[in-house]
Every structure is written in C-alpha cells, then in structure tokens.
Amino acid sequence: MQSNHSIVIIGGGIQGLSIAFNLARLGVRDVRVLDAGYFQGGASGRNGTLIRGGFGSPEWTGFFAHSNRLWAELSATLGENVMFTPRGYLVIAQKAETLARLDGMRDLHREHGLQSDLLAVRRIKELEPAIDEHAVLGAIYLKGGGAAPHHAAMKGYLAASRRLGARIDYQRPVTAVERSGDRITTVIAGDERIACEKVVIAGGAYSPAIGKLVGAEIPGFPIRIEAMALEPVRPVIRSAIALPDRLCYMHQTARGEIVGGAEVPEKPQVTLNTDICALAATAAAYAEVFPALGALRILRHWAGMLHATADWGPLLGQHPDVGNLWVSAGWSYGFAGAPAAGDLLARAIVTGEVDSRMAPFAVDRFRRNQPVVEGAIVLAPVD
Amino acid sequence: MRAAGPGCVINWNGEPLQVSAGESVAAALFRAGHLQLAATRKRHRPLGLSGSFIQGVLGDVDGIPNARLDQVTVRDGMHVARQNTWPSSHFDLLKLLRLVPARLVRGGFEHTRLMPSGTRRYLVWERLLAFLAGEGTLSPVPAAPAVVAGRRIDCDLLVIGGGPEGIGTANAAAHAGRDVVLVTRGSAPARFARLMGITETALDSRVTLLTAHEACAIYRQGHLVLAAPGDGGPAVAIGSNEIVLATGKHSLPPLVRGNTLPGVMDAATALALAAGGAACLGRVVVVGTETREAIAARLHSLGAAVAEIRAVAELKAIKGWNRVTGAVFEHAVPCQTVVHAGPWRSDPNLSFQASGDGLLRLSADALPAHVRMVGSAAAPDERIHWPGKHALDADVCPCMDVSAREIADLLRAGVTHVEEIKRQTSAGMGPCQGFPCWELMAAVIENAAGAPLADRPSHRGPRRAITVAQAAGLSGLVDPLK
Ligand SMILES: Cc1cc2nc3c(=O)[nH]c(=O)nc-3n(C[C@H](O)[C@H](O)[C@H](O)COP(=O)(O)OP(=O)(O)OC[C@H]3O[C@@H](n4cnc5c(N)ncnc54)[C@H](O)[C@@H]3O)c2cc1C
C-alpha cells in the first residue's frame, strides 16, 4: 500500500494531536498521524492533568504561560469541550528553602502576565479548609492554573484535527523509515509506505527508540511514573496542588475522584506496572498535608511512561542532523505544554521561524552544553 | 431508645430503626425491608446488596463516607445514611435524575457537552458536576488517624482465598513444613462452603491466617502482594516465594433489563441472607447454569420460598421499579428476589497483575512459574448468555449507568478497543474496578463481533480495598527498586 502525505507525525498522544491540529489550521490539510497503541494509551491518557503557567525559570515560564493562556480558550479553538477549569494552582512549600525559592518566582510570573501570589498559611487554609496548616509554610498561587480531564482534551483534539482533514490512525506502529542522505523520504507502517516531505517525532517515552529507527539521535531515556485515584467524594479540594517537598501533585476531578501521584527515587523503570513504593509515598504525602483524606480509599493505581531528558525540559524543534525531521519529545509536563507546543512547532514547521519561547528547548541544546535550569518541577532526581 | 431482645437500634437516614444484631448493616437493612441502599452515579437508579456491585452497598457510617455496608457489622446506635442525596438522605430530590433520558448522560462525567469550558460559568458547572459525581461527603476535619502503621510479612507460600481449595493447599504445605500465610476476605475461612452445608476442613494451626483481609494488588511480577483489612487496621505487604490463587468463581448477573435492581443477587449473598432467616427473600426465582438446582435446593432447605428454577438463558427481563417484582421468561413470574447461580467466572484482577506486561498497554500473559491458580479459579469460565435484543437494556456497569446499548452504539461508531470503550464510557471505573462489569462488556463486544474476546482493560489495584491512611503506613516497608 502506497500513500502520500506532506507531513507524517509519529505518535498520537496529546503532543502529536496538538501538532496535527495546528498544522491543519495553518493549511496543511494532509497531515498523517500514526500511533502504535490505542487512543489515549500513552502518557497523555495516564497523567495528572494539571496545568500551570508559572515555573522557576524564565524559559519554562515563558513557554508554559503561553500554553496556559491557550488552554483557557481551547474549547472555543477546537469547537470541543476540553473541560479546562482555571480553578487555581497552589505550589505549596513545606520546607524553608522551598519557600524561599517560591518567593523569588512571583515577580517572574508577573512579568509573563500570570496572576501569581505568595500566600501565607492562613490564606492557604481559607482556600483549602482540609489542609493541615501545621504541615505547610506558604505557597505560590497561580490563579489561572488548573486542570482538564485528559479524556476530554484528547477527544477534543482528535475530533477537531479530523474535522480539518488530518488522518489519524491508532494501533498502527511506524516500523521503519527510508532515508536519502540526510532526509527522510518514506515512513513505513506495516504494509503501508508513506512518501512524505516532513516527519515529526512525538512518540513520548518511545521517542529515543523511534529516533534509532530513523537513525537520528534523540537524547534521554524512558522512565515510569505513577498516579492513583481515590474514590469519589463531594468537592473537598478546590485547587490543583503541587507539593514539591513531597514530589507530589494532586487535584480533585470533575468526577469527584482525587487524582495525583508522588515520585520515589528509584532506578528508572521501563514498565507500565506499578509498585508499592509510589502508592505508599503518595498516600503519605496526602496524609501529611490533607489528613482528612486518610479515611478515603484508593480506587486504582497506574503507571505511565515519560521521556526523561538531562534537564527534564522538552526537546522541541528541528532535528540538527536530519534535514526534514522535527521533534516534540522529552516531555515531563507535556499535557500542560501541548497547546503551546502544537502552536509554536507547527508555525516553525510551516514558516521556518522559531519562536523565542521555544528556542531554548532546541533538540541540540545538550550538545551545545546549554541545558535549561529549572528548579520548580515535581520530579524525582535521576542519575 | 433501647434495643428489644436480640436486636439493636441503628439510625438509618435520620430515623431510628430496629434491626437484627450480629450481621452486616446491608443484611440487617435488607431484612428490615430496606433494599435500596445506594444509587447509580449519574441517573440515581436504586441499587442494593447484590454480591456483584460494590456501588450498591456504599453508605455513610458515622460520618465516614463510602463505607461498605456489607462488611460493617451493625452496632447499637450507629448512624447509617444513604449518600449522594440532596438535600438530605431522608428527602432526596436527586433521585428524580432517573427521569433524565439515558442518552443525555452518556460518556461519564468527563464528556460534558452542555457547557464548554473557558467561561466563568463553567467553573460553577464543573463544581456542580463534581458535586453530583461525588458520592459521599468527607469532612475536612479528619475523623480517623491519617496514618495507620502497616506491617511486612515474608513467607514461603501465600495462599489467597479461604475456601476448601485454599485451605487444602495451605494445609498440605504446612504439613510439609513450609511457612504458609493464608489471606481470606471473609470473616472466617470457608464461608460459602459452610453456607452450602459442606463440612469444612479445619485450617492447620501452623498456617498464619489473615481473615477479613482483601488481597488487592500484586506487584513485582508476582513477588509482592498487598492486603488490607476492611476495618482500617494495618495493611500488610506480603513477600512470598510462591503464590496460590484460590479465589474461586463468582456468579455474574444476567444480561437483561433490570439486572441491577435491588433484589437481584448472587447465590452466595442469597445463601447468607437465607441462613439468618429466609423470610426476607420473599418469593425467590433462581436462574443460572448447572449449579442452579443445587443452590435452589440449599435455599429451599434454609426455608426460602423458591418459586421457579430456570436456566439463565430463558430469562428475558427482570421487572421492577425500585425493587424486583418479577422475572420474565415466556411469561412473567411474580417474585421479590432473583438469585443467579451462574454463569460462574473468575475475577481476573490478581492474575492479571501477576502476569500483566507490555509497554504500549498492559495485557495479561501466562502466569509466572511461582504463581498458580487452583480449584474452581483454575477451571474455565462459563459463557455469559446473550439474550438477543433483551440484552441492550441491561446494565453493564450500573455505577456509571453504562448500559449494553451504550457500548453497542460505540461499537457501531467504530470505537472497538476495550481500553477506549472504558475511557469513553467510564465502565469499570467505579468501586468494583472492572469486575464484573468488564466481563459483561466483553459479552457485548463478543456478540457484536461474533467471536470470543479474551481482552480486558488493564486490571488495576488496589480497587478500594485500602485507605490512604493504611497505604501511608506502608512507607519504608518496601525498598524502592535500585
Ligand atoms: C502519572 C503521570 C502524571 C503526569 N502528570 C502530568 C501533569 O499533571 N501535567 C502535565 O502537564 N503532564 C503530566 N504528565 C506528563 C504528560 O502526561 C506527558 O508529558 C504528555 O502526555 C506527553 O505527551 P506525548 O504526546 O509526548 O506522549 P504520549 O502521550 O506518551 O504519546 C506518545 C505516543 O507515541 C506512540 N508510539 C510509540 N512508539 C510508536 C511507533 N513506533 N510508531 C507510532 N507511534 C508510536 C505511543 O503509542 C503513544 O501514544 C504526567 C505523566 C504521567 C505518566
């Protein structure tokens, strides 16, 4: 079977779909998306769904502030309800040094147009009556941050992209590519040969492996992280919450479940199986900060895989070695970042112009020894 | 008010109620004529004690939401209330939601079409959704300790399931000098066998017995098991060289209209109720596979008024609005209780977790050599009968109000992957976490495809068998993988 598409996207997670949607909006109507698994099977269907614009570095904040703004209007943009709620995002400090770090972030956030405030314990308690005020020292509050159920967001992107002509197939793994010199000419998926002008790798945790398939180095490695859902109760937690000192994040969903996870320092695991350690660590973090949750039962616990890079930042842009290869990978906050990544990368692909908000995340930054230093993310250090 | 005689007085939805002592709240309420204990999540249709769907036995006990009323024993003076009601458990207007047509609430709470996000109004709408979805009400002031220290047990052989087969396996191993732990969900081993009148074999005293503990998840390729007691006591991380799953079979509700009405129950539940006095069951219709005669005979000998015994394939519908009023075969048989004794199937949760692997999705594989199934758990599953068009009105997942019709419509629209159906309908994402609903879902898919389907969404632990406090107490008992 032979076909022609101007752009082939490998991976139909939220990154691949957002890129497909934005390309189609810019007039590239024959986008093809190929995904090896089932719809929502990757990290995009397994994440904590938290969205915020403000981080500790200007690079992350510049990028994610843009994405947060796009989330707010995403339902209108897609013509599908993504159910984003700007319920507010609390990054809560439990240690003095964390509080000091948060303290420095507010001005940065405001420079990027975010509504960001430092909250004293009393204000946190007003917002979150279930919190143990003795367990926390202060917080930064991002008023426009929040969450969107991944089921709704993914379904919205899929439907909108298809309406604009993108062809998207699941359970259709890319098995090989053909190159002529430094360019990819054909993408092969089983018995189908797809001649194309450009290729985008948006394969999540599998991106380094897909890079090998293409013969292009994609730095980083896959790593599992875990999350769990508590049984539903009527609203008791209002905000989206990160507890950097416990490597934990959480929120209460539109279905009443409290969903979140905590990371444990472990040898990076390549599996979708879960482990007791993350279950216990997540529960311990909840119990410490929201003691009332101790009485709730844990419904289910699952794992998803991320593509870890040396600085935990994404790899976004053109590949340095393969002329017509583009990359959106290395995501750890790739759900929050998807609207901006799709917007900026699609523009770069179509016009050749690299927006300054995505430039710092260039694929070759480690080669150039220019990692992006970001200290306000909730991820366990790996060595 | 004081309890008279062997009963006690509880408070049910704000009213004192005299109930019999010594059994579970759900059984006591059933006996007192209160069949509807809970409701479905979206349309608030009535649910009760069924032995199949946990949603039907979740209630608020003394201010703690989502207690399992079939596992809590009645106590004089306890306050039990229906949850997910408004304005009160006594006067509930939310039950009017059952008048909303089913098609309007399809797709779970994550797929609202009614009000797009991005507006201020949506924030309010989302809070309303979460309120409607939220079941019980948790007090922000902790009512129980936030952490319950757990324990770690390491053994040579772990037997899960306290039926005759589990006891036999544990005894043989103990006899051979092995270090054996047996975990059973029941308050005592061999509960079902005893109800069937089978004399039990005593458990060897050298076996470490954990009763009223649910083994709820398996980790590390079947080398680590999580078990927790229902009463909130210490959770247990059990490391074992070998695991035996003696988890038996469960009878699945028939795929017909009315299959989740209060009054429809599995054989084990009916036997337990009958053992405490069969009058509460009223006229009983027994449907099932081969075992139906034996179950009906036992119910009869316990005093139940068995009106009809039929093959489940003959059942066309179960009648009733708030509770069972009849079973429909070629003509209707009036009754108050429908007991199903088959098809019998294994709960695949633990075996899935012991074998599941894969990077794009977890799927069950052959069990590792050190994990095996014994007894009826190891026997082939019985097929779920497909009663033609009658099946479409059946509930597949009552908790989320997913009918067979909703799944059939998705299949027709080209959504055929089990994981996708799960995500689009939320089927199996309630308190049962996939069993029995995914078995029923598979039957719908099999019927549409005309071929057997072994595929299920991934079975995830610990499916509400453990609280946050219990899980927090496991910190430090298991080393992270290095
Ligand atoms: C537990 C957990 C919690 C998280 N919480 C958050 C959070 O709160 N906020 C946030 O912003 N982010 C969060 N994340 C991260 C976020 O989920 C990811 O960064 C994001 O989903 C990445 O999207 P993606 O499209 O790049 O990857 P994926 O969604 O993983 O998609 C990659 C796709 O590539 C496909 N693929 C693989 N190999 C091939 C092949 N050979 N051919 C074709 N296709 C292939 C896969 O099938 C997969 O569908 C979390 C992640 C996890 C696991």
B20-72 pLDDT, tens per residue?
A: 899 999 999 999 999 999 999 999 999 999 999 999 999 999 999 999 999 99
Report, as an integer, the average pLDDT of B412-439.
Answer: 94
Inspect the interface and report whether the beta carbons of A277 and B463 lie closer than 8 Å: no
* Average pLDDT of the segment spanning B155-162: 97
Specify whether B272 is located in the same domain as B244: no
Are the C-beta atoms of residues A297 and B466 closer than 8 Å to each other? yes
The minimum CA-CA distance between B223 and chain A, rounded to whole Å, is 11
Task: Indicate whether B313 and B424 sit together in one domain.
Answer: yes
The Å distance, Cα A16 to ligand 1 centre, comes to 10
Residues B329 and B435 in one domain: yes
Examine the domain organization and report whether B266 and B209 are in the same domain. Answer: no
What is the A303 CA–ligand 1 centroid distance (Å)? 11
Q: How much of chain A is helix, strand and coil, in % rounded to 5?
A: 30, 25, 40
Test A83 with B117 for CB contact under 8 angstroms.
yes
Please say if the pLDDT value at position B4 is more than 50: no
Report yes or no on B457 lying in a domain: no
CA of A364 to the centre of ligand 1 (A): 21
- What part of B 384-413 touches A (C-beta under 8 Å)? none
Name the A residues in 286-315 with CB < 8 Å from any B CB: 286-288, 291-302, 305
- Spell out the domain ranges in chain A: 2-45+151-220+312-361, 85-146+222-308
Phi, psi of B186 (to 5 degrees): -70, 165
> For residue B260, what is the domain's CATH number?
1.10.10.1100
pLDDT at B121: 85
Of ligand 1's listed atoms, the one at least distance from the Cα of A147 is 8
Cβ(A306) – ligand 1 distance below 6 Å: yes
d(CA A72, CA A339): 10
Both B206 and B286 in one domain: the answer is no
Answer whether A81 touches B (CB < 8 Å).
yes
Is A168 a pocket residue for ligand 1 (Cβ < 6 Å)? no
| Average pLDDT of span B356-366 | 92
Partner B contacted by A74 (CB < 8 A): yes
Same domain, B396 and B309: yes
Per-residue tokens: B373: 């199934």
Residues B157 and B237 occupy one common structural domain: yes
Look up the domain containing B79 and give its range: 7-94
Do B160 and B307 lie in a common domain? no
Contact between A313 and A361 (Cβ < 8 Å):
yes
Indicate if the pLDDT at residue B3 is higher than 60: no
Question: Are B118 and A72 spatial neighbours (Cβ–Cβ below 8 Å)?
Answer: yes
Atom of ligand 1 nearest to the CA of A337: 11
For residue A57, CA distances in Å to A60, A102, A109, A141, B297 come to 5, 11, 9, 16, 73
Counted across chains A and B, CB pairs separated by less than 8 A come out at 266
Gap between the Cα atoms of A181 and A37, Å rounded: 30
Whether residue B388 is found in the same domain as residue B268: yes
How many angstroms separate the CA atoms of A220 and B113, rounded? 39
**Ligand 1 center–CA A73 separation, angstroms:** 22
Position B1 confidence tier, pLDDT thresholds 50, 70, 90: very low
- Contacts with A233 from chain B: Cβ below 8 Å: 65-66, 134-138
Apex A255 CA angle, A249 and A259, nearest 5? 20
Q: Answer yes or no: is B144 within a domain.
A: no
CATH code for the domain defined by A85-146+222-308? 3.30.9.10
Quick one: how far is CA A44 from the chain centroid?
7
What pLDDT does residue A355 have? 98
- CA A143 to chain centroid, in Å, comes to 19
Closest by Cα among A278, A232, A315, A21 to B83: A232
Position B242 scores a pLDDT of 97
A42 lines ligand 1 (CB under 6 A): yes
Task: Count the neighbouring beta carbons within 10 Å of the beta carbon of residue B205.
Answer: 7
Residue B464 lies inside a defined structural domain of this protein: no
**Domain A2-45+151-220+312-361 fold:** FAD/NAD(P)-binding domain (3.50.50)
B401 within domain boundaries: yes
Q: Which pLDDT score is estimated for A381?
A: 62
Q: Are residues B306 and B425 in the same domain?
A: yes
Compute the Cα dihedral for A344, A346, A347, A349 and give only its sign: positive
ipTM of the complex: 0.96
Provide the token pair at B250: 């469960």
Amino acid letter, residue B318: I
Please say which residue of B326, B355, B378 terminates a domain: B378
Nearest atom (ligand 1) to Cα of A304: 53
Q: Is the pLDDT of residue B110 over 90?
A: no
Q: Is A304 in the pocket of ligand 1 (CB under 6 A)?
A: yes
Is residue A266 within 8 angstroms of chain B, CB to CB? yes
Instruction: For B298-338, write each residue's pLDDT tens digit.
Output: 999 999 999 999 999 999 999 999 999 999 999 999 999 99
State whether B136 and A233 contact (CB < 8 Å).
Answer: yes
- Does the pLDDT at position B2 exceed 60? no
Task: Please tell me the distance from the alpha carbon of residue A51 to that of residue A102, in angstroms, as a whole number.
Answer: 17
pLDDT for res B115? 82
- B467: contact with A, CB 8 A cutoff: yes
Q: Taking Cα atoms as reference points, which of A373, A33, A376 lies closest to residue A194?
A: A33
User: What rounded mean pLDDT belongs to chain B?
Assistant: 94
Specify the pLDDT at position A203: 98
Coil, strand or helix: which one is A328? strand
Number of domains observed in the structure of chain B: 3
CB contact under 8 A, A273 and B357: yes
Nearest CA to A316 among A356, A369, A351? A356
Predicted local confidence at residue B415, as pLDDT: 93
Consecutive 10-residue averages of pLDDT for chain A (383 residues): 91 98 96 97 97 97 98 96 95 96 95 98 98 98 96 96 98 97 96 97 98 97 97 95 97 95 94 97 98 97 97 97 97 98 98 97 97 84 56
Q: What is the pLDDT of residues B363-405, one digit of tens each?
A: 988 999 999 999 999 999 999 999 998 899 999 999 999 999 9
CB contact under 8 A, B480 and A270: no
Does B87 lie at the interface with A, CB-CB under 8 angstroms?
no
> Which of A45, A230, A271 comes nearest B468 by C-beta?
A230
Cβ A170 vs Cβ A37: under 8 Å: yes
**Band (B135; pLDDT cuts 50, 70, 90):** confident
A 88-127 near B (Cβ less than 8 A): none
Kind and range of the H or E run holding A344: helix A338-351
Is residue B192 very low, low, confident or very high in pLDDT (cuts 50, 70, 90)?
confident
Encode B381-411: b = buried (16+ Cβ within 10 Å), e = exposed.
ebebbebeebbbbbbbbbbbbbbbbbbbebb
In a domain, B74, yes or no: yes
**What pLDDT was estimated at residue A269?**
94
CB-CB contact of A243 with A251 (8 Å): no
**B224/B261 same-domain check:** no
Percent of chain B topping pLDDT 70: 99
Q: What is the pLDDT of residue B399?
A: 93
CA–centroid distance, A40 to ligand 1, in Å, is 9
At B44 the pLDDT is 96
Chain A residues close to B228, C-beta within 8 Å? none
Q: Note whether B181 and B161 are same-domain residues.
A: yes
Instruction: Give B-chain residues touching A85 at CB under 8 angstroms.
Output: 117, 122-123, 126
The answer to whether residue B358 neighbours chain A at the CB level (below 8 Å) is: yes
